[in-house]
Amino acid sequence: MEPLRLFIAIPLPEPLLRQMAQVQRALEKQMPAGSVRWVNPEGIHLTLKFLGDTPEGKVPAIRDALAAVARRAVPCTFTVGDLGCFPNLRRPRVVWVGVQEPGGQLQALQEAVESAMVSLGYPREGRKFSPHLTLGRVRDSVPSRDAARIGEVVGATALGTLGEVRADSFALIRSVLKPTGAEYTPLAEFRLEG
């Protein structure tokens, strides 16, 4: 049987997704044509952990482990705003909107999810958790002049705060890669009950 490509993420409210679509359109107008693959705004989410290819038989154990995390984790409120690029503005690969949560509960949730998945055999993420909402990915074929322009536009755009999100659940999501972009299907949602 085909493995499932899975990840764990916090879903976002519809009005925020509409704002994100507006930001995408505003940026697209200023950037070299076709230089960025914009993600489908309906699928924008806050990723907590990417699992990747997973045998279907492992899904019940993942669900059980995530349910246990959710029973202990507290809901949190985070702010969405400002723009940036990974790895940086000079070499932009991913264009994102930032997520700020000074209280540390989001970080704690991500660490709890990470540990639970490491216990199930997934590799621990080597990089520090940088919560973000991906707007688009710079195409590999983009000439360095165009990449520089993308970084300039992102650096010059003062987005400010788009809104606050009350996160009271997270989801296990299946991703199917298609030529038109990734299609996401939630397999299970977990309410934060701590």
Contact between 175 and ligand 3AM by CB under 6 A: the answer reads yes
Contact between 54 and ligand 3AM by CB under 6 A: the answer reads no
Query: C-alpha distances in angstroms, 170 versus 53, 67, 84, 154, 167?
Result: 20, 10, 24, 29, 8
Contact between 134 and ligand 3AM by CB under 6 A: the answer reads yes
Applying the rule CB under 6 A, the residues between 21 and 50 that interact with ligand 3AM are 47, 50
Radius of gyration of the chain (CA): 17
Q: What is the rounded CA–CA span in Å between residue 121 and residue 57?
A: 14
Q: Which of residues 10 and 69 has its CB atom nearest to ligand 3AM in the complex?
A: 10
Q: Which of residues 143 and 181 has its CB atom nearest to ligand 3AM in the complex?
A: 181
Total of residues contacting ligand 3AM (CB under 6 A): 6
The closest of 43, 44, 142, 25 to 97, measured between CA atoms, is 44
Instruction: Output the smallest distance, CB 71 to ligand 3AM, in A.
Output: 25
Q: What is the rounded CA–CA span in Å between residue 189 and residue 187?
A: 7
Q: What is the rounded CA–CA span in Å between residue 74 and residue 89?
A: 34
The closest of 161, 155, 189 to 173, measured between CA atoms, is 189
Q: Which of residues 72 and 91 has its CB atom nearest to ligand 3AM in the complex?
A: 91
Contact by Cβ (8 Å): 77, 115: no
Q: Which of residues 127 and 145 has its CB atom nearest to ligand 3AM in the complex?
A: 127
Q: Which of residues 6 and 69 has its CB atom nearest to ligand 3AM in the complex?
A: 6
Applying the rule CB under 6 A, the residues between 73 and 132 that interact with ligand 3AM are none
Residue of 4, 7, 38, 190 interacting with ligand 3AM (CB under 6 A)? 7
What residues line the site for ligand 3AM (CB under 6 A)?
Answer: 7, 47, 50, 52, 134, 175
